Amino acid sequence: MLSLTALAISLFLAPTASAEPKALRQDPLDCAYAPRVFSQFAENHLEWDAIQKDLEQRVGKVYLDRLDPSRSMFLEAEAQALEPRITRLYREIAASRCDDLDALHQEILARHRETEAFVKALVGDPKFALDRTVSLEVDPDKRPRPRTPAERDELRRKLVQFQFANYIAAGTSPEEARKKLAHRYELTTKRLAKLDAEDRLSGFLDAVANALDPHSSYFSAEALDDFTIGMRLSLEGIGAVLRNQDGYTIVSEVVPGGAADRQGTLRAKDKIIAVAQGERGEAVNVVDEDLRDVVRIIRGPKGSKVRLTVLRQGEKTETLSITITRDKVDLSEQAVKLTWHEVDELGAPGKPPRKLKLAYIDLPSFYGGNAAEARQCTDDMRAALREAKAKQADGVVLDLSRNGGGLLNAAVEIAGMFLSAGEMVGVAGKNGRLQPLEDRDADVEWSGPLVVLISRASASASEIVSGALKDYRRAIIIGDDHTYGKGTVQNVEDLAEGYGAVKVTTAMFFRPGGESTQNLGVDADIVLPSVSQAQDWGEKTMPFALPPARKPAFMTASVIGQGFEPVTAEAVTRVARQSAERVQKSEEFDRIRGRMDRQRRNKGMVTIADLLSDAEEDRKRKGATGAPADPDVDEDEDEARRKRGELTPHGKEALNVLAAFAGCGVVRPCK
């Protein structure tokens, strides 16, 4: 599950567009261009030949789920009638006809207006009150669609009750919660009504891509800019992380060192209510506007000015006009970070333990790019490892626990920093032939003890690195039971200028031992309690995920004579036993086990009474631990720790395991 910070950053990046309004852009996406997009999928997708016979039906399911994700809009019979209509729509768009897509949009808009009216009538009733006895199956895929209008109304009532309870749990008064709920549905309808023909076609093309597999996508011209910015870890703007809440664009974080931080006036929690270009431009009201549109007009080229009107509510409520000169923002929080820690080794019997000096390297993504100004994760990682070596670290923890992937070549190079030259991963495309990718640099940047921290969020390029280090027995893998299981490779194929791009799954990658990580992931040697293990989370839970495969092993990198020895089963068994004893006694992991129990309980039917009870427990816990208790901040405890510069419980235990592994009695005798 994404923390608020990760989500907010992704929203901040997502709305990139040129400053030029859509209406003035040349060659906007239109229906005549759709067949070219489909042909890109057919020419490039790894499993196109196997998928195409079922593709129309798959598109029907994906698009219907997008139209009605909560299953509260269409009755069972209506949904059954709609799926074949969507499959016909696929054929029509493939023939450059979009009239039915536009007609369907109007029907969906009418349904949303009907839902909005229902909710307003419900919460506007003076008798409306929180019903703690209401229960709901929280997973829409496990809920049957309502069969009658009465069943649909009952489902809507339950959904509204849970939304109402969430506001109450966050400290909102009942009266204010009613207003927010009504406004929330108003905004949904308003944003849907604003979608133009280009937006509607773009959404359908992306649904077609998702029907191929979870990682194929269609990027509009705007989304393509976002994708490029995300990979380069830099953008030009004001240097603030934004989020949307109840119609307001709220400053979630002012990025240290960014333009807004240097200007010095903008603060977290400020509500941006208007935006103007330059010092004299006309202010445009942005209340109730979609976050994508707000960010689009706030972002701009380096050196230009933007004027924000913000509402600040504290001891007094004030409205401020803040002029910020846009500048390049370096998203350093998403870059390699090295910290140092001292941990006791076990020591020889009868002797006091000595302090081990351990390096902790956090790599949140495999970023980089071809542009001259693009920051490269390989450069940052090499610098961190050389610092660890120069300062005589006793061991290194490589944290990939929140790394969702990135550049394939960067993963190969980074894996090779811990091994001599050889194959780190193999890639097989449509023809099935395995192409090993090797690191040709015989130098080893770090040859000492190594522990890799993973989670179910570790995906793609993270699995290449952790899989290679595990197969070559170069590191101890610790964390969740396994990584995410994304073992496929995507290529971004640019379309004509102004039409965006397609991201298409073109190949599958294989570990040096021959296993694909697809669906399976990389197993941990030492499993720690984690909330994500209580959730249905991972590639294998995704609709239309490709199945795993296997190839013959191709292990050619040398692991002997490079200053380290392969990790032995005996060493893993010993440090795992010690870890289990520590974790069993840990209060932090005890709280995690409690959250795991609640998550498992919440996978089925949940009552509002349970939801409020859990919220109260979380408030008490946050008050005791110093974690933010602000009801407007919905971040998990681990993210709150990172913001305070602290390690997560899993990070601390990774250091303990490393200390046991690097210390005496495991890989060297005690003296």
Tens-place pLDDT, residues 443-455: 899 999 999 999 9
Confidence of residue 394 (pLDDT cuts 50, 70, 90): very high
The pair of three-digit structure tokens given for residue 120, joined into one six-digit string = 């307003």
Q: Are 60 and 86 in contact (CB under 8 A)?
A: yes
CB atoms closer than 10 angstroms to residue 412: 23
Tens-place pLDDT, residues 482-507: 999 999 988 888 898 888 899 999 99
Tens-place pLDDT, residues 19-72: 333 333 445 788 999 999 999 999 999 999 999 999 999 999 999 999 999 999
The pair of three-digit structure tokens given for residue 649, joined into one six-digit string = 């419980």
pTM, full prediction: 0.78
Q: Taking 90 as the threshold, does the pLDDT of residue 424 lie above it? A: yes
Q: Taking 60 as the threshold, does the pLDDT of residue 15 lie above it? A: no
Question: pLDDT value at position 481?
Answer: 96
Tens-place pLDDT, residues 175-210: 999 998 999 899 999 999 999 999 999 999 999 999
CB atoms closer than 10 angstroms to residue 54: 11
Question: pLDDT value at position 596?
Answer: 87
The pair of three-digit structure tokens given for residue 31, joined into one six-digit string = 């229906």
Q: Is 108 strand, coil or helix?
A: helix
* Closest to 172 in 3D by CA, of 221, 100, 101, 245: 245
Residues 314-340 have a mean pLDDT of 81
Q: Are 439 and 615 in contact (CB under 8 A)?
A: no
**Measured between alpha carbons, how far is 99 from 103 in angstroms, rounded to an integer?**
6
**Which residues on neighbouring strands pair with residue 305, listed in sequence order?**
325
Q: Taking 80 as the threshold, does the pLDDT of residue 312 lie above it? A: yes
Q: Spell out the domains of the chain, with CATH numbers in brackets.
A: 48-212 (no CATH), 234-330 (2.30.42.10), 334-662 (3.90.226.10)
Question: pLDDT value at position 620?
Answer: 63
Average confidence score pLDDT of the chain: 85
Strand order across the beta sheet in which 450-454 lies: 337-344, 355-362, 395-399, 450-454, 476-479, 526-527
Q: Are 427 and 510 in contact (CB under 8 A)?
A: yes
Q: Taking 50 as the threshold, does the pLDDT of residue 634 lie above it? A: no
CB atoms closer than 10 angstroms to residue 209: 26
Residue 396 vs residue 441, higher pLDDT: 396
Question: pLDDT value at position 516?
Answer: 96
By mean pLDDT, which of 82-96, 109-123, 364-378 is the weakest? Answer: 364-378
Q: Are 268 and 254 in contact (CB under 8 A)?
A: yes
